[in-house]
Amino acid sequence: MLGVTDLPTYLAGLALIILLPGPNSLYVLSVAARRGVRTGYTAAAGVWCGDTVLMTLSAAGVASLLQGNAVLFGIVKYAGAGYLTWLAVGMLRAAWGLWRSRRQPVAEGGAGVQEGAGERPFRRALVISLLNPKAILFFIAFFVQFVDPGYAYPALSFVVLGAFAQLASFLYLTALIFSGTKLSAAFRRRKRLSAGATSAAGALFLGFAVKLSLAGG
């Protein structure tokens, strides 16, 4: 189909890859839990736009450039790790603030609305996506396995594979968004639970930063 080979295997592999936790999906979940469905989808839109850019760059051959240029790869890699660290520190600071105020009564409807009021979920999710050179290398390495080398229009094959990837991402992030909003009521009532969850998210983001900084080209 349009130069795509072994589509069932691709879809099975894609499902497994989408389900692996990563900084993008974790960020969308945290935003939805804190600020609701609409803001969760705003963050998810940043993920989809970022992934679209990375898929386009992969098809255009930027992956080969990153693989062949250690300095360029290192710049993008450490910029991404630094950004994830900055987000992690912000989460840990927010968790500490929640823990310190855990005995204070929560005004009805007030906690979740004020928290993160100056945050820009679309931009943050987009930057998290773009500052990940390993994602570009992944897309080119994974997609190319399912493109017929004899097909006259390989770019079209990449478009088909990318469309399926975005559909899977949409379904997965939608599930996370609605799961997150169900958790938000409990988080607002119980500051200890919210502080613990925010601390865990911050620790995971630090782990993502370390993993990215240690990644090789």
CA distances from residue 65 to 139, 149, 156 in whole angstroms, order as listed: 14, 21, 21
Kindly state the DSSP code that residue 4 receives in the 8-state scheme: B
**Phi and psi at residue 36, to the nearest 5°:** 100, 180
* Residues of the chain under the 70 pLDDT cut: 20-21, 61-68, 76, 80, 98, 101-118, 133-134, 137, 140-141, 149, 183-195, 197-198, 201, 205, 208, 212, 215-217
Helix axes 121-130, 23-35, angle to 10 degrees: 170
DSSP string, 109-176: TTHHHHTTTT--HHHHHHHHHHT-HHHHHHHHHHHGGGB-TT-S-HHHHHHHHHHHHHHHHHHHHHHH
Q: Which residues pair with 4 in a beta bridge?
A: 147
CB atoms within 10 A of CB 193: 15
| H/E run at residue 88 | helix 70-100
Residue 32: the pLDDT is: 87
Cβ neighbours for 21, distance < 8 A, ≥ 6 positions apart: 204
CA dihedral 20, 21, 22, 24 (to 10 degrees): 110
pLDDT of residue 66: 59
pLDDT score of 153: 75
- Give Cβ neighbours of residue 153 (< 8 Å, ≥ 6 apart): 2, 3
CA 163 to chain centre: 17
pLDDT at 50 (0 to 100):
92
Over the stretch 122-160, which tens digit does the pLDDT of each residue have? 999 999 888 876 677 677 667 777 777 677 777 788 888
61: left (phi > 0), else alpha (psi -120 to 50), else beta? left
Write down the pLDDT at residue 197. Answer: 67
Amino acid 32 reads A
